[in-house]
A = this chain, B = another copy of it.
Amino acid sequence: MPVSETRESYHHGSLREELITACVALIEAEGIGAVSLRRVAREAGVSPGAPYHHFADRSALLTAISVRGYERLERRLRQARQLAPTAARALGALVETYVWFARDHPAYVQLMLRPELSQPAKHPEAQTAGEGAIRVLTEAVEDCQREGIVPPGDPSPLVGMVWALAIGIVTLWLDGPLEGRCVSLGTTPAGLTVQITALLESMLTGGSRQSNTDGH
């Protein structure tokens, strides 16, 4: 019988799982620059060779984490889309969801945004997993078309716009400049995100009217 992928304990316990956990914790604690296979093994309390029983090489571990990140992101995006009261709200909510996901799991997203670490040419799984997330975006845009908010035709410009917007906000937040800018503006990254998505929605539904509801 082949080794089950879901068993709870063998020798060490489920080392594969613990390596992923340790790597995520390491990135969150010391930044993406601190990642190395040896270091992750050390954090997991295991010898440097041990990971090779679970991952072909360093990039395989990082790819596995990226894949998990995309899967979790997609799940949250699907929930957000289902909960949104209108199609226009869904688009804004998807952007927000991506950003909150990055805030809650910065390590996943940082890996997802650094292909030089996962080497997608070698391990294409992460890219495949990412396509699932984009599918949710596309479906949401198609909803908008069905509701007449967005004209029919190729949905990809709006899909690309929403996707890029989400990645852009996330990058600015995780990389630091957003935090600093928000401080000098008297707001927060989360607050600015909500303002941006509100702006997006108002552009979609009501022309260029921009609501400044937060007392400006």
Contact = CB atoms under 8 A, between A and B. Distances in A.
Summarize A's interface: helix, strand, loop or mixed.
helix
A192 interface: yes
Assembly of this chain: how many copies? 2
B196 A160 contact: yes
Interface residues of A, number: 55
A45 interface: no
A160 B198 CA distance: 12
A198 B31 CA distance: 37
A153 B208 CA distance: 14
Contacts of A199: 157-158, 161
Interface in A33-68: 33
Interface in A170-216: 171-172, 175-178, 180-181, 185, 187, 192, 195-196, 198-200, 203-210, 212, 216
A5 interface: no
Contacts of A149: 208
Interface in A1-49: 31-33
A115 B175 contact: yes
Given A167-B171, A177-B127, A195 B156 contact: yes
Given A157-B192, A157-B198, A203-B208, 8 more contacts: A113-B175, A153-B216, A154-B212, A156-B187, A157-B199, A164-B196, A171-B171, A207-B208
